[in-house]
């Protein structure tokens, strides 16, 4: 993401289209953050946002919205967006999650570099400063060490209908609390023996202000700091301070953090007044999270799907993780389009999965090359076509609606034995069926055009011992080849695709569908596993036109009649392709 910070001026941005843009434009007009400078004395952008994931799992579709909002606002207002890992819980965090999050944000189309450098940060970078600030709060009688058990703390915290009770340790002297805190840091105590709490108001109607915890003991190895620390700051303490240390202007998060904002403001006001943080401090704003039907985003439940082998891993194409969505074949552009269309509001609601699929179709239609693929193969034998001979055929790589690609052609041969779809033959046709069916006593067999090839007439079929149709026979008309002068003499209603058996590429094709049959699989305490879709994955052997033999990983195609498919980024190899169905050509999904 390139940014021009020349003289600290911000170029004009798009007209406000949501409340966050309105806030930013008001701040730009007022110069709310115009005078800030970085540690080297250089002017800071007036808009600095951040995407702050915890490295305790894989990003999912909901995170895509937050990424697009934060990086998009920074881009549109000539600002900067930091990528920061809020890594304060060593028991659940791993380098694996850091690596996949970095990869996913980049794949989605965003970067955290600008003309001043790379803005990739970790909350653990600030552990020494966070510790010093906690010591200050204790000495200023704004925090204390509590020695209640977790159960006692929970009982005394009260609830929405009952005010909390002061801890018996709330009035500990600053000196005693500071001594205990330093001994906690030195490793003298077990996990849970003591905890540091901010001293605010145990009677507050906002539960987050009832002396929230800011430091706890955790004898755990940290993926970056190793065993240096056995005390770790709480998320609600770390997050606002990290924002301020990174000179964030607009701290944008989802609505579940709305009730946490008063503590955010309380903390930054006290620490900036004490000289720890630069003013003006960041301000938090909340927008509604992205809720998509037929999807769950609970990390616990997603992990359950993985751990119980219900899916094939975090990157299973049925998963709503960004690595899964990517492997399914979704494009970064389609996700950005979808997130943009869902808008930014303060009202929670549900977006139907069809909107996401529609954005993908819209993105892929002009740029996905077309190809033929037979997914349910049935042999078609052209009895009067010379055995061993072939005739060259060709077809557009892109449809006529995209004239910029008009000269691009794909080439494939026709021979006497072809693969067609099973549904393109019917022994006893129903009314309105215009594909292949055999002759009867008083009528000849049907005629259809083999797309980009010849017109053929059905003459019969073969069955195996079980009565299953295994081959269809026909004759072709040599003067009917598409694109030749004689082809206009043949008027047929049916038009089917095909692939020469001798030249077909055999491939594994995975037909993916929605993981759940219920649009709200875990709502109201429901057992989400009861809504698993048994048809969410089906693996078949299909036949593809010859040009797909050397498809590269993540090459996307529209298989005509079938939908959009992608060469699997893990399993597909040149010469041995594996394709995933990303989405069908139209929304026809039913339970």
The set of catalytic residues is 54, 289, 299
**Helix 332-342 crosses helix 61-76 at what angle (to 10 degrees)?**
80
Q: Strands (DSSP E) along 120-221, which ranges?
A: 120-122, 143-146, 195-198, 213-217
Main-chain phi, psi angles of 508, to 5 degrees: -80, 130
How far is 373 from 45, CA to CA, in rounded Å? 52
95 in Cβ contact with 41 (< 8 Å): no
Calculate the CA dihedral of residues 152, 154, 155, 158 and round it to 10 degrees.
140
- CA 38/CA 546 separation, integer angstroms: 58
Q: Is 15 exposed, middle or buried (0-12, 13-18, 19+ CB in 10 A)?
A: exposed
DSSP 343: -
Please name which of 111, 78, 72, 73 lies closest in space to residue 7, comparing C-alpha atoms.
78
Beta-strand pair 505-512/499-500: unpaired
CA atoms within 13 A on the CB side of 4: 7
Contact 21, 73 (CB under 8 A): yes
377, 468 contact by CB (below 8 A):
no
Radius of gyration of the chain (CA): 31
- DSSP labels for 229-270? -SEEE-HHHHHHHHHHHTT-SEEEEEGGGGGGHHHHHHHHHH
| Cβ count near 445 (within 10 Å) | 20
């Amino acid at each position: 993401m390139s940014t021009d910070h020349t003289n600290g001026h911000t170029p004009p941005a798009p007209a406000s289209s949501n409340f966050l843009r309105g806030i930013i434009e008001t701040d730009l007009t007022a110069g709310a953050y115009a005078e800030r400078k970085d540690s080297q004395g250089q002017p800071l952008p007036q808009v600095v946002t951040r995407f702050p994931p915890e490295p305790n799992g894989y990003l999912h579709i909901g995170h895509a919205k937050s990424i697009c909002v934060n990086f998009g606002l920074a881009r549109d207002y000539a600002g900067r967006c930091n990528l920061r890992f809020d890594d304060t819980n060593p028991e659940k965090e791993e380098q694996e999650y850091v690596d996949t999050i970095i990869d996913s944000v980049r794949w989605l189309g965003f970067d955290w570099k600008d003309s001043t450098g790379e803005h990739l940060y970790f909350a653990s970078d600030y552990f020494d400063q966070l510790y010093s600030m906690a010591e200050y709060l204790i000495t200023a009688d704004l925090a204390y060490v509590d020695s209640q058990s977790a159960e006692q703390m929970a009982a005394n915290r009260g609830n929405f209908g009952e005010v909390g009770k002061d801890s018996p340790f709330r009035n500990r002297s600053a000196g005693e609390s500071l001594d205990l805190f330093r001994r906690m840091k030195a490793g003298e105590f077990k996990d849970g023996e003591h905890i540091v709490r901010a001293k605010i108001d145990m009677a507050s109607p906002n539960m987050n202000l009832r002396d929230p915890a800011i430091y706890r003991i955790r004898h755990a190895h940290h993926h970056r700091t190793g065993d240096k620390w056995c005390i770790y700051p709480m998320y609600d303490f770390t997050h606002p301070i990290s924002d301020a240390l990174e000179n964030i202007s607009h701290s944008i998060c989802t609505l579940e953090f709305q009730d946490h904002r008063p503590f955010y403001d309380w903390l930054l006001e006290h620490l900036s007044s004490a000289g720890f943080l630069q003013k003006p401090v960041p301000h938090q704003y909340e927008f509604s999270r992205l809720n998509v039907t037929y999807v769950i985003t609970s990390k616990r439940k997603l992990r359950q799907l993985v751990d119980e082998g219900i899916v094939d891993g975090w990157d299973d194409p049925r998963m709503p993780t960004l690595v899964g969505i990517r492997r399914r074949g979704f494009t970064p552009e389609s996700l950005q389009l979808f997130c943009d269309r869902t808008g930014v509001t303060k009202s929670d609601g549900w977006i139907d999965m069809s909107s996401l699929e529609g954005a993908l179709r819209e993105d892929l239609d002009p740029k996905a090359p077309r190809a033929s693929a037979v997914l349910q193969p049935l042999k078609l034998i052209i009895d009067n076509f010379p055995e061993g001979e072939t005739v060259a055929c060709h077809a557009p790589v892109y449809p006529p609606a995209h004239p910029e690609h008009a000269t691009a052609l794909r080439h494939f041969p026709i021979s006497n034995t072809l693969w067609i779809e099973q549904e393109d033959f019917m022994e006893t046709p129903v009314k309105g069926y215009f594909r292949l069916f055999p002759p009867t006593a008083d009528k000849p067999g049907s005629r259809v055009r083999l797309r980009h090839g010849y017109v053929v007439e059905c003459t019969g079929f073969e069955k195996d011992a079980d009565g299953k149709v295994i081959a269809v026979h026909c004759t072709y008309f040599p003067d009917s080849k598409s694109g030749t002068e004689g082809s206009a003499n043949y008027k047929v209603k049916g038009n089917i695709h095909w692939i020469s058996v001798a030249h077909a590429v055999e491939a594994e094709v995975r037909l993916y569908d929605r993981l759940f049959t219920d649009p709200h699989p875990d709502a109201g305490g429901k057992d989400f596993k009861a809504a698993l879709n048994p048809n969410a994955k089906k693996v078949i052997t299909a036949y593809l036109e010859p040009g797909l033999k050397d498809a590269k990983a993540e090459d996307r195609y529209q298989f005509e009649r079938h939908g959009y498919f992608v060469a699997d980024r893990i399993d597909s190899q040149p010469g041995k392709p594996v394709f995933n169905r990303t989405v069908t050509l139209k929304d026809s999904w039913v339970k």
